[in-house]
Amino acid sequence: ELKVEQNPLFLSMQEGKNYTIYCNYSTTSDRLYWYRQDPGKSLESLFVLLSNGAVKQEGRLMASLDTKARLSTLHITAAVHDLSATYFCAPKKGNYGGSQGNLIFGKGTKLSVKP
Amino acid sequence: DGGITQSPKYLFRKEGQNVTLSCEQNLNHDAMYWYRQDPGQGLRLIYYSQIVNDFQKGDIAEGYSVSREKKESFPLTVTSAQKNPTAFYLCASTNQAGVYEQYFGPGTRLTVT
């Protein structure tokens, strides 16, 4: 059974600082997704990581995937208040099979960026 | 504009009543999903459907039912058998090929008292 662990679960940062959120998962998965959720809102897709070694960057966020280590990271560079939100990682359940497309979500990392 | 719609945005019901949440997509996606989110938690899969007239239970299907009579629509019924129905419900859809990226609707917040 695929289990996902994100850490930290809560992160309070100062503006301008850097930090990394970690996403570990327990069994083989060939791709992983990162989502952002603002309070009371739905999920917004941030990154789709499709293979080992994949790295994607958008603004101050950079995501990477190491399928051998079963680890994905979301790195925040020079944080700004607008990045305050909850971030979820979600590896896909299995490489193939009847549940293609099913994602397993971590509990999320609640990020608060303070001036 | 292509997207996923959910209605209503907020729903209040008395305990013991069944309630149906709507989810419609015009993205021509084959697969659709229902998730439940509780405060401070991740998403848990209730039901999913990969083709019309077929659906499978997710991790927490007890007390819920679904139908998939049309490709665009995947309504979720929360029955009186669901012990703790108050939650935020999210519908998503994806293509069956390629990236499998899931797109989410705006959600329905259900409160049962």
Sign of the CA dihedral running A93, B83, A36, B4: positive
From A61, A63, A1, A76, select the one nearest A31 (Cα to Cα). A63
Q: Measured between alpha carbons, how far is A102 from B59 in angstroms, rounded to an integer?
A: 11
Contact B100 A105 (CB under 8 A): no
**Token pair 């039901």: residue:** B47
- Which pLDDT value is given to residue A37? 97
Asked if A107 and B40 come within 8 Å (Cβ–Cβ), the reply is yes
Angle at B86 between CA B32 and CA B11, to 5 degrees: 75
Q: What is the mean pLDDT of residues A2-11?
A: 94
Residue B92's closest chain A neighbor by CA? A43
Contact assessment for residue B103 and residue B46, using Cβ atoms and an 8 Å cutoff: no
* pLDDT, mean of residues A60-86: 96
Give the C-alpha separation, A108 to B112, whole Å.
25
pLDDT number for residue A97: 47
Q: Do B42 and A105 touch (CB under 8 A)?
A: yes
- Tell me the mean pLDDT in the region A53-59: 94
Q: What average pLDDT does this structure show over B50-63?
A: 94
